[in-house]
Amino acid sequence: MSKGLGALVFVAGVAALSYWGAQSHAVTMERKIAAEAMSLIAQTVHPMSVSVIGRDIALAGTADNEAELAGLVDGLNDIRGRRVVNAEGVTVLPLVEPYETALSKAADGSIAATGYAPTAAARDALAADLPGLAGLLLGHGAPEGWAGALAAGAAALAPLEEGSAALTGTTFTLAGMAATPFEENETRAALAGLDGFETVVAIEVLDPGIVDFQIGYDASEGFRIAGTVPGSLGRDAIAAALGGVELDGEVSTTFAGLDGLEAALVALGARLGLFESFDLTASDDGLSLAAEPMAGLDGDTVRAALVEGLGDGEGITMIASTAPADGAERVNAATGRRQFAQGGVWMNMPEFEPSKATCTQAARDTVEAAPIRFVTGSAELDPVSLATVNEVAGIIHLCTREAGMRVVIGGHTDAQGDDTANYALSLARARAVRDALAARGIDTVRMTAVGYGETEPVADNDTEEGRAKNRRTTFEWPE
């Protein structure tokens, strides 16, 4: 080989070796720059990407603020061997002052969000359970604890029917409507652990759980109701408890109940015939009743009947009765019976054609259902029997006036005691009934009081039950 050719080969080898070395060194340098750049951007708040071509560095992504971007660029500029740092692909988040994020819950349960989130990661973490948050914009300046505050806000809205939660700087405001105090308490509990924020909460409770209603009754006009009643009963069940009456008026319902209410209404309904009017008030404090007895009935006796039924007399007030004008007529709203006024009392108008048989049977049925009682050992009418006297008065009025018949009022005793004393007591009791009927407008000429003593028993006098049946008042119409 000639010297010229050898020199050429040597020069070519050196050039090739130099080129390979340069290329290998450039790749190594690029990798080194890329590794250091990746290490720097790994510390950023938001996703950031870096590309290195040769020794030129290019950034793309989002910076939380200008200071973060400047620090990042400074760090990249400090990498040995780099040539150019290009940050034009980086978006800097706007500074939001005051920082605002708001949630709103609609009546259908959906939650929408407006305002800003500090990072996509924080936003997406919440949006996993609340898709409405996915549309939040990114902004710089969120208060510390932003994610916890928004999570608490979402939890606080969950029990509400509808509402809104707004975070403005470090002030957290929540407003909405809760179905009951239970949901309100759940909402407040969800915010109890919210530290570092001033909280402002305004919740309207749709059903505060308060029973508060009134029932009014007038025998001539009927029943009315107003207020808030337990939902467990409702208006229809209250009407049923009172005996299937018709209740006029509007009511709302509450989840709350009132112990003993239904039993008290049933007891009151069973005694409606004792009242001319009443006003019943029911509240969380209990029941109170202002009642006017039917004219001709004893107020203390009616009160005693109420106490027996309601179990408590503290809330019962009796009002003096007003006597109706003789000749007045009406339909009793509680009983549905036609009534007429005579002798200052209301009497039921019998609904049968008067005859000896029908008059006898009607009077017998009445006193068997509710016997006429007397104070023990005397001829004084027991006040509890005045309602029966009123009922009988209506029958006798029809039979003596319309049919022109006469009635014999018989007094009967049991066999205990002296025969003569029993006769005198039976006669006195028959006369007491006659006088009570006369006070109710029955013509005394049409009534005769007779005492039978113990001579006409209808049961065995050896038992108390039998003796009670023998102590009775009878009504008969002679031919």
Do both 311 and 375 map to the same domain?
Answer: no
Q: Using the 3D structure, point to which of 205, 226, 260 is the last residue of a domain.
A: 205
Do both 148 and 192 map to the same domain?
Answer: yes
Is residue 360, in this structure, part of any structural domain at all? Answer: yes
Do both 200 and 218 map to the same domain?
Answer: no
Query: 98: cis peptide before it, omega within 30°?
Result: yes
Task: Report the range of poorest mean pLDDT among 164-173, 182-191, 329-338, 421-430.
Answer: 329-338
Is residue 337, in this structure, part of any structural domain at all? Answer: no
Q: Work out the mean pLDDT of the chain and round it to a whole number.
A: 90
42 pLDDT more than 80: yes
Do both 88 and 127 map to the same domain?
Answer: no
> In this predicted model, what pLDDT tens digit does every residue of 220-279 receive, in sequence order?
999 999 999 999 999 999 999 999 999 999 999 999 999 999 999 999 999 998 899 999
Do both 176 and 132 map to the same domain?
Answer: yes
Report the domain count for the chain. Answer: 4
Is residue 85, in this structure, part of any structural domain at all? Answer: yes
Q: Using the 3D structure, point to which of 205, 240, 255 is the last residue of a domain.
A: 205
Q: Using the 3D structure, point to which of 64, 92, 120 is the last residue of a domain.
A: 92
Do both 107 and 162 map to the same domain?
Answer: yes
Share above pLDDT 90 across residues of the chain, in percent, rounded to a whole number: 76
Do both 234 and 184 map to the same domain?
Answer: no
Cα 57 to Cα 82: distance, rounded to the nearest angstrom? 7
Is residue 390, in this structure, part of any structural domain at all? Answer: yes
Q: Which amino acid is at 335?
A: T
436 pLDDT more than 50: yes
What CATH number does residue 111 fall under?
3.40.1520.20
Are 318 and 298 in contact, with CB atoms under 8 Å apart?
Answer: no
Is residue 239, in this structure, part of any structural domain at all? Answer: yes
Is residue 327, in this structure, part of any structural domain at all? Answer: no
> In this predicted model, what pLDDT tens digit does every residue of 81-125 receive, in sequence order?
889 999 999 999 999 999 999 999 999 999 999 999 999 999 999
Taken in order 426, 427, 432, 433, is the CA torsion positive or negative? positive
Is residue 335, in this structure, part of any structural domain at all? Answer: no
Beta bridge partners of 292: 277
What CATH number does residue 451 fall under?
3.30.1330.60
Q: What's the token pair of residue 80?
A: 């040995």
> Which pLDDT score is estimated for 297?
87
Do both 442 and 373 map to the same domain?
Answer: yes
Is residue 227, in this structure, part of any structural domain at all? Answer: yes
> What domain range is 252 assigned to?
212-318
Do both 272 and 156 map to the same domain?
Answer: no
Do both 223 and 297 map to the same domain?
Answer: yes
Neighbour-count burial of 184, counting CB atoms closer than 10 A to its CB (0-12 exposed, 13-18 middle, 19+ buried): buried
Do both 184 and 219 map to the same domain?
Answer: no
- Mean pLDDT over 436-448 rounds to 93
Task: Report the range of poorest mean pLDDT among 3-17, 24-38, 387-401.
Answer: 3-17
Residue reference for tokens 């006195």: 428
Name the band, by pLDDT with cuts 50, 70 and 90, for residue 17. Answer: very low
